[in-house]
Structure formats: C-alpha cells, structure tokens
Structure 1
Amino acid sequence: MESNQYATMNNISDRRMNEFQSIPVREKSIGLNSNGGPGNLPLSPQKIHKGHPKVWISLLIIVAIYFLAPLRTNILILGTDYLPHRNTLSRTDTNILVTIIPLKPYVGMLSIPRDLWVTIPNVGENRINTAYFFAEATQTGTGPAASIETIRNNFGITIKYYLVIKMEGVVKIIEALGGVEVDLPAAMGGLPIGTNILDGTQALAFMRERYSSDDFSRMDQGQILIKALIKKILSPSGWIRLPLVAFETLRAIDTNIPWWLVPRLVFAILRSGTKGIDNRIISREMVNPFLTSDGAQVLAPNWKAINPVLLEIFGE
C-alpha cells in the first residue's frame, strides 16, 4: 500500500517537473515595447572593468619617451642661392645650426657668416659656404654631407640631420601663409622700425638684404624672419593654411629628417614658443677680417670668442 502511494507521488512529481520544463523561462527585461509595456531586451551580466595601472603607466612612459627623447637633436639648415633660370651650382648663403632639446624644452639657433674662413675636407681653406658648392660640383647630392662634415671638423659639433631650402621656395611658403609680420626694434633690411607686414617677395628681400649694412645684419634679419614664420604658423590664422604651407614646404626643401621625428621636434618648438628660442649669431667680435692672397675679403674665426658660445648652446 505504501509503495503504491510512493509510486503515485513520484509520478505526480515527474509530471509537474515536465510541465515546468516546458514553460520558457524569460530573463528580466528592461525598456518599453511599442505598447508602453515591458520590453524584451534581456539583461546581460554587467562586467566591471578594472583598471590596469601598470598598462597605463607603460603607455605614459612610451609617450613621454617619444616626445621627450632623444635628449638633443642637432640640425643644419642650409639656404641655397639656387634660381631656376640659372644653370650655375649653388652656394649656401644661409648656414644655421639648430639644436633642440625636447625635455627642457630648449631651441637654440646659431647663424654662421657665409664668408667665414675654414678648412673644408678634401678642398682646403675656403669660405664655409663653398663646402656645399665643391661637393655638388663633384657629385650631385653630396653638398649637405660635405657641409655637415665641415661643421664637425671646425666647430666640433656632431650633426645628424640637415634641411636644405631653396631661397625661391621661401617666397611660396610665405605666400601660402598669407604673409608674415615682423616687429623690428630698429630700421634694418630696408624696412622701418616697428611692425611690418611682408608678402613672400618682400620677406625674401628682407632676409637677403645686406647692402645697407653687412652680412652680420643679414643673419639677424634671417633669424627674425624664421621666428616670424614660426609665430604665424602657431597662430590660429595660420592653422587653416597649414595644408597649403606643408605642400609648398615639401616642394622647397630637401631633408633627411625622418617623418616620425617631425612631431617630436614640432612639439618641442610649441612648448618653447617663439620667445623661448635662443637665437645667436657669430658676431663681428668673434671674427677677424682679412684679405686672402687672391684679394678676397673673408673672416677668420676667433675661436676663443666662439667656443664659449658653442658651449652655451650645444654643450650638454
């Protein structure tokens, strides 16, 4: 009797279990359906993402290393007197040593007189601006390397990168910027004291003009124009013109600076700002004028006066 009762109860339990199993189980829903009732979107388990401090720290270190290293980058900027209508070889009328330290940040510029009398490897003693000329006369494309080697032999500065800009390209770059504004503390380069707004042709004439003064003033004028260019590029009015400026710049320059290094250098210049650029020249007090045996007027370097400046700008 008891066994029959147990069997009956088991059968009832099995039937009820089967009934429950046949009823679809719905997950709790959220949202509203088209009738304003509960929606049918299932609630997925909410995962709590825990931060990984080590990962973020590693990323920050990588970014910092990219933008703040290497500790120093030296670049030689050469401005050639190349003109399309002339078939003669170019000399470097502009020779500027640039050093950039992203970590500080520090941007230093030193302009070298083109008539500085130095020893040129495989040539002998001559003006520094002829190092490029003689190398190009021997083999096209070797001018920048010859100029870098000349700087290293005479100044003791190791330079890895160069940037050669054709002077007529300066006109197009400035025109792409919509002109530049130069503030002069005194009348120079054929311009009056105060603020002067220059187009491309006027800017090039200002940078190269030396008949009213001398080559030392011309170097000052070149650095003033470079700072005016940087200031205009960093201004909001210059931002919208950057694509055209970049296009004209790429057409006007020859450089071995790798593309991945450019953002790092630009970031350092941005942090430094135009007022933070340390611009110097090898001045009259650092040279001794003399005549060569051929009667050429040149400048002998006074290394006792030059070396302290080199140490200030390029010393570690």
Structure 2
Amino acid sequence: MSILKVTNLKKRFGKFTALDGVNMEVKKGEVFGFIGPNGAGKSTTIRILLGMLKATQGEARVFGKDVWADAVDIHKRIAYVPGDVNLWPNLTGGEVIDLFMKMNGCTNLTKREELIKKFNFDPTKKSRTYSKGNRQKVALIAGFASDADLYILDEPTSGLDPLMENIFQECVLDAKRAGKSVLLSSHILSEVEKLCDRVGIIRQGKIIETGTLDELRHLTRTHLTIKTKEHITSLNELKGIHNLEEKDSELTLQVDAEEMDTVIRYIAEFGILKLESSPPTLEDLFMRHYQGEEYSNSKMEGSL
C-alpha cells in the first residue's frame, strides 16, 4: 500500500528548475532513504510534500490526498523533523515539546517521558541555552511522541553525538515495527544502511536510481589507509582500486566493495602494520559517480 506517491514532480523558481520530473513512492511500514548531494532537490521535494511550496507540475499525494489542497488533513497524520531546528528562546524545552505535541493532537505523556529519558534531555532549561544537538532532540522527542502514520525526517541527526544517533535509529525502527512509514533524508551512509528498506538517489532535481542498498551496492567504495612492513608493489594493477596515493610511507586508496577481500589478501602478503577503513561521505560518493572522475579526484586529493 502506497503512503506517499510523487509522480513527474517539477518545480521551477523563475528560470531555474529545482525539480525535473521526480518520481518516488513510500509504502506502508517502509523506511525510505532520500539521499543525494547538497542542492540536489531533497529539501524542495520535502517542502512540497509538507504543503509549504506548490509544485509547478506533476502530482504529490500523501495518504491518497493532494499535498497542496489537503495539507491540513495530511498534517494531522505526519510528523516532521527538520535538520535545523529553531525554537522559541524564552520557552523551556519541555514547553516547546508540549506545544508541538498539542499542535499534533497528541496526549501520550508516557511516551514523552520515555523519550526525554532515552535522549538524556533536560526539558527544564530555556531554549536559548540549548546547543544545536539539544534543539534537535526537542524536535525528535516531539516527533516520535506523536502517533503519526508518516515521519518525514530531513537530516534529523544533524548535531547529535554518536550515542544519540543510535537512540534515534532505535526510534525509527520502533516506528517501523509499529507499521509506520518513514521518509529519511540523510547524508550519513551508515545511517541509511542500517535503517532504510529502499533508497532513492536524487541529483540535479532528478531521481537517478531507486532500489535496496544491495541493489545499489555498486555505488559503495571503502576508503583505506594502509602501512606495511614491506613496500607494496603493483597495487594499482588490482581490480577495484581507485585514487591510490602514497604519503609519509602510508597508502590511501578506495576499494570497490566486491573487490575488498581480494585487495586485503594481497596487502596482507606485505605485512600489515596499520589498516584503517571508513566509508566515503555521500557527497564524495555522488560527486565521484555522477560528475566525472576528474572532478572527483581533485576533490578527494584536496581532502586527504
């Protein structure tokens, strides 16, 4: 069953085309990852879904209703968490949470207290004293305390520390287990991998790929930093090696996921002293795969 469906969605600001025929669907009980580089059109799409912007062309429906004409009815059943939360400075965090919950028609105080404890949040302080991470917690607590059928989360863990990110992920999985649907816009690949059933990749206002993470695994490369007892020879001749560089007796490179086992076995023959691995950022991932190797290489070299 489709909870959210976008068909040939277009949005123009003057001569600039922000969205150019976006198609997307979120099903009941599904966590859908909406990912892409900055400026790709994610936030514009979300603003249209929330009824904040009117589409130039195409159709967007949530719960079978038109997002522009039926925005009030739709908002009764959704929870929205932006990536940059602005609060009333003279209200306490608890007062803001209560206000958000009241606006959503939610009275589940037990869930509210449970989430405040989970997120290790002090609701008695004035909002003006909160860090970015604590402002984010206010929106997350209010959002997950509501009995929404669809959660629209736009970079929701911005400013959270790793422990709080884990709590957020538990909340998303709890919502999924309860049969709720989630649209998650995120730059954190590990977050997407843990949570999302399917992913839609947007670039320059167009959805360029949609599928499960396994189906899109060809997009993933791992970044390695290596130091060995003996000098490694002919590494660049192996399949799946990219952006190989040597600096201060250490090698940095990227390896396609399907070739990782072969590469590690080869490196081990030279005596591993140091081996660090990390996933690429989504920004680097998309730039490399969709805007050409020359641009990507210069970007990667500047970041090493």
Q: Which band: TM-score by shorter chain? A: under 0.3
TM-score (norm: length of structure 1) = 0.24
More helix by share: 1
Larger RCO, structures 1/2 (Cα 8 Å, 6+ apart):
2
TM-score (norm: length of structure 2) = 0.24
Q: Which has the larger radius of gyration?
A: 1
